[in-house]
Amino acid sequence: MIYDQPQALRLAVRDGNFRQPTSGHAGGYLQANLMIVPEADAFDFLLFCQRNPKPCPLIEVLEPGATEPRCAPGANIATDVPGYRVYRHGDLAGERESVADLWQKDFVTFLIGCSFSFEAAVQQAGVPLRHVRQGRNVAMYRTNIACTPAGRFSGEMVVSMRPVKSRDVAKVVEISGRFDVAHGTPVHIGNPGAIGIVDIARPDYGDAVDIEADEVPVFWACGVTPQWVAQKCRLPLCITHAPGKMFVTDLRG
């Protein structure tokens, strides 16, 4: 079953009836990467997002302790995401279906844009995306592109890659550039080795996808970057969404 409306999707999640990736649901609505940190780390992380808007375009930051975002009235951040990951001191400490029992009054929630919005626009413009057609997760890679550090947060950018036909590369740059909150224009086009990607056939996250002879690999900043940086910095505690299982907002993408 496909959920058209974000409210219905979030309620299904809350009631335990939806645990899948959210891609393809609530078409036309913004979906968000989730990052929750204790207030002690919130200024540093907000500053990290401000300094690195391509991987971390902010949709909304909630007040400390708050669970109901303005971008989704009635929603509960602690229960309405189909899957959560808890990291402690940089290690994955578990995957969960709710974090209501872990909730702390000092938790600050960051909702960060994801690439689904521009993917829809690119496809509407007649440019096919192989991973979408094949029903796979997009291929993601850690790179050697340094993010601008902020307080305790520093590390390299994670990128997503989509193979694009040479004739369509300018078009996808133009279209994605209209979606600041979905990472904007690509950060790199055409040469994986130049950004530290050793084997394009082996992504660090998501699923591998073939690149055909008339295609160029196009790389966009990716919302997985803060998860990777939090791991590298051995942040005492953070909670994120599980890959592909985003928070669905009421905002029109």
- The residues of the shown chain that bind a second copy, judged by CB under 8 A, are 39, 42-43, 46-47, 50-51, 58, 61, 63, 108, 150-151
The C-alpha atoms of residue 7 and residue 118 are separated, in whole angstroms, by: 22
Give the residues across from 217 on adjacent strands. Answer: 163
Q: How far is the CB of 200 from a second copy (least distance, A)?
A: 33
Q: How far is the CB of 245 from a second copy (least distance, A)?
A: 25
* Residue spans of alpha helices (H) in 125-240: 130-133, 169-176, 225-232
Q: Which is nearer to a second copy, 72 or 161 (CB)?
A: 72
The C-alpha atoms of residue 225 and residue 221 are separated, in whole angstroms, by: 8
Q: Which is nearer to a second copy, 154 or 231 (CB)?
A: 154
The C-alpha atoms of residue 158 and residue 133 are separated, in whole angstroms, by: 23
- 91-96 and 29-38 beta bridge pairing: unpaired
Q: How far is the CB of 52 from a second copy (least distance, A)?
A: 12
What sign has the CA pseudo-torsion 98, 136, 204, 145?
negative
* Residue spans of alpha helices (H) in the chain: 6-14, 39-51, 116-124, 130-133, 169-176, 225-232
Q: Which is nearer to a second copy, 24 or 151 (CB)?
A: 151
Q: How far is the CB of 60 from a second copy (least distance, A)?
A: 8
Q: How far is the CB of 58 from a second copy (least distance, A)?
A: 6
Q: How far is the CB of 216 from a second copy (least distance, A)?
A: 29
- Residue whose C-alpha is closest to residue 237's, from 32, 138, 92, 43: 92
Burial of 34: CB neighbours in 10 Å, binned 0-12, 13-18, 19+ = buried
Give the residues across from 252 on adjacent strands. Answer: 29
Q: How far is the CB of 50 from a second copy (least distance, A)?
A: 6
* Residue spans of alpha helices (H) in 96-250: 116-124, 130-133, 169-176, 225-232
